[in-house]
Structure 1
Amino acid sequence: MDLRIFTEPQQGASYDTLLTVAKATEDLGFDAFFRSDHYLRMGDGDGLPGPTDAWITLAGIARETSRIRLGTLMTAATFRLPGVLAIQVAQVDQMSGGRVELGLGAGWFEEEHKAYGIPFPKDKFARLEEQLAVVTGLWATETGKTFDFRGEHYQLTGSPALPKPAQAKIPVLIGGHGAVRTPRLAARYADEFNIPFASVEDSERQFGRVRTAALAAGRDADAITYSSALVVCVGRDDQEVARRAAAIGREVDELKANGLAGSPAEVVDKIGRYAEIGASRLYLQLLDLSDLDHLELISSQVQAQLA
């Protein structure tokens, strides 16, 4: 089971804080550092010092790390034109030496669009589908040839389809709870399918839908990596679990029901349940970015047991 650290910096984190967490992620042996792509805090609080841009952040971190994978859960298709996004991600992949992955979703948080003057169209899913076709098409175009695309929302003519990523293929992540369109899109474009904040039972059901859609599309369902994202709250004893839960404004019982919470043994046991349904990768949503001891504990007493 790969363990990846997943951060939500729109809740309040500077680039320096994110870099510190990313370096700890690498030093402690985790597989990857991922971040959300949002511009507005959710829930209570002031969100200081304000939002950071996902791909600018990852570009900086790419130059300060050497091993961990880097990516987004999920970049919103509403934020960037697909041609621009393809250039940005390919460049960060070059800057990292080929360690980038792109999670791409339709976009859903209307308030952040209003706050920063970003259009929030009604046909977001159709735009996402075209964005996936454009981004992957640009990267796949042979050097020296051009790429054209005629969609309802995006049109490209004679694109040189440059720059190319360092990797032969940047992994594309698609995720969500949708029962029909999301599995179909994943079957066509996803190297990895991720379901966020879902129970074992709901995750198993959604993985099954993706597998069915892949088979219907003539694709090997096992060629897709299946993953989950869950909030994490681990403690050496009940008091430490309670302290960490309080620090992120959550209740212990709720976290145990809906996330990965409790002692290292409890968390390892629950991770095993996700492994049994086919998940081979977990994104640990770390909400208190100042608590690096939490990361060390997960590394030494959870990740070590999985190894």
Structure 2
Amino acid sequence: MELRIFTEPQQGATYDDLLAVARTAEAAGYGAFFRSDHYLKMGDGDGLPGPTDAWITLAGLARDTETIRLGTLMTAATFRHPGPLAISVAQVDQMSGGRVEFGLGAGWFEAEHTAYGLPFPSTVERFERYAEQLEIVTGLWGTPVGGTFDFEGKYYRLADSPALPKPVAKIPVLIGGTGPKRTPALAARFADEFNLPFQKVDASVDLLTRVDAACEAIGRDPAEITRSAALVVCVGRDDAEVSRRAAAIGREVDELRENGLTGTPAEVVDRLGTWREKTGVSRVYLQVLDLADLDHVELVAAEVAPQLRS
């Protein structure tokens, strides 16, 4: 099982904060550094110094790191037009030497759209736009050099696009969510990876069954899609350290034990073993909420990750 680091910078982080976590994760041997794509904090706190743009952040990290893979959980389809988005992501991939992965979602947080003047259509329209964006972005990247790409949809029209620039190699596309029909269908068509966001094990089994069924309905082998989960992490060498880390992020230990990966390294290894056994998940994104606690990142790498490699 591969462990990746996942951050929520909208809660309050500078680029230098994120760089410190990314470099620590890289040195510790994590598979990737991912960040959310949000423009407004959630819950308590002041969110200072304010939001950072996901793809500008990743462009900087592309040059300031060397080996770790980089991506988003999830870029919101409501934030950007698909043509320029395809250009930005491909350029960051080139800047990183081919280390980018691309998570795309329909967008859901209405308040951040209102705060920054972004349209927030109905759920039906957001998913229709999302489907078109997936088709456009993957179509632009997949068009052979020298060819052109055309698209005529309900919301977007592209004509004679040179479909440039190209990524270094095929950029993995991540789709996630809990929708019972549209999300599994889109994952079957476009996803290289399906992500379970902050779900419990039993609910995840049902979601993955729906993705498998959607794949089979279009003749795709479900095994082609990597299964992953995103879970909040709170690990300590003993109960006192677990409690201290829970308090630092404003959470209760009992709640974290129920909904995340919480406890000593041995407890977390056991929990991850249950995930792997019941769901077939082979990749976990650890939601790190205290970005100043680099010892936390190093502890998990040293005492949890080695036990997951067998």
- Within 5 Å, which residues of 2 pair with 1:101-140? 101-122=101-122, 123-140=125-142
1:206 aligns with 2:213: no
**Deviations 1:125-176, CA, capped at 9 Å, x for gaps:** 0000000000000000011111000000000000000000011x10000000
In structure 1, what is the equivalent of residue 290 of structure 2?
288
Given candidates 142, 165, 184, the residue that maps to 2:167 is: 165
Which SS does the other structure have where 1:215 is aligned? helix
Amino acid at match of 1:109: F
> Which whole-Å CA distance do the structure 1 matches of 2:28 and 2:262 have between them?
20
In structure 2, what is the equivalent of residue 87 of structure 1?
87
Amino acid at match of 1:249: G
In structure 2, what is the equivalent of residue 234 of structure 1?
235
> Which whole-Å CA distance do the structure 2 matches of 1:305 and 1:221 have between them?
27
- Within 5 Å, which residues of 2 pair with 1:1-307? 1-122=1-122, 123-167=125-169, 169-276=170-277, 277-307=279-309
Which SS does the other structure have where 2:165 is aligned? coil
- Note the residue ranges of structure 1 that are not aligned, 5 or more in a row: none
C-alpha deviation, 1:194, in angstroms: 0.2
> Which whole-Å CA distance do the structure 2 matches of 1:228 and 1:93 have between them?
23
Amino acid at match of 1:155: R
Which SS does the other structure have where 1:71 is aligned? strand
Amino acid at match of 1:41: K
> Which whole-Å CA distance do the structure 1 matches of 2:288 and 2:154 have between them?
39
> Which whole-Å CA distance do the structure 1 matches of 2:220 and 2:291 have between them?
39
> Which whole-Å CA distance do the structure 1 matches of 2:34 and 2:134 have between them?
20
**Deviations 1:273-300, CA, capped at 9 Å, x for gaps:** 1111210000000000000010111011
Q: RMSD of the TM alignment (CA)?
A: 0.5
Asked if the contact 2:236–2:264 (Cα under 8 Å) also holds between the matched residues in 1, the reply is yes
C-alpha deviation, 1:45, in angstroms: 1.1
> Could you state the TM-score of these two structures normalised by the residue count of structure 1?
0.99
> Which whole-Å CA distance do the structure 2 matches of 1:183 and 1:306 have between them?
28
- Note the residue ranges of structure 2 that are not aligned, 5 or more in a row: none
Which SS does the other structure have where 2:5 is aligned? strand
C-alpha deviation, 1:65, in angstroms: 1.1
> Which whole-Å CA distance do the structure 2 matches of 1:215 and 1:51 have between them?
40
Which SS does the other structure have where 1:233 is aligned? strand
**Deviations 1:187-246, CA, capped at 9 Å, x for gaps:** 000000001000010111111110111011100100000000000000000000000000
> Could you state the TM-score of these two structures normalised by the residue count of structure 2?
0.98
Which SS does the other structure have where 1:257 is aligned? helix
**Deviations 1:22-79, CA, capped at 9 Å, x for gaps:** 0001000000000000000001111000000000000000111111110000000000
> Which whole-Å CA distance do the structure 2 matches of 1:279 and 1:153 have between them?
35
Which SS does the other structure have where 1:34 is aligned? strand
Amino acid at match of 1:221: P
Asked if the contact 2:31–2:68 (Cα under 8 Å) also holds between the matched residues in 1, the reply is yes
Amino acid at match of 2:231: L
> Which whole-Å CA distance do the structure 2 matches of 1:265 and 1:208 have between them?
29
Amino acid at match of 1:296: E
Amino acid at match of 1:68: I
> Which whole-Å CA distance do the structure 2 matches of 1:149 and 1:203 have between them?
35
Asked if the contact 2:25–2:298 (Cα under 8 Å) also holds between the matched residues in 1, the reply is no
C-alpha deviation, 1:306, in angstroms: 1.2
The number of residue pairs the alignment matches comes to 306
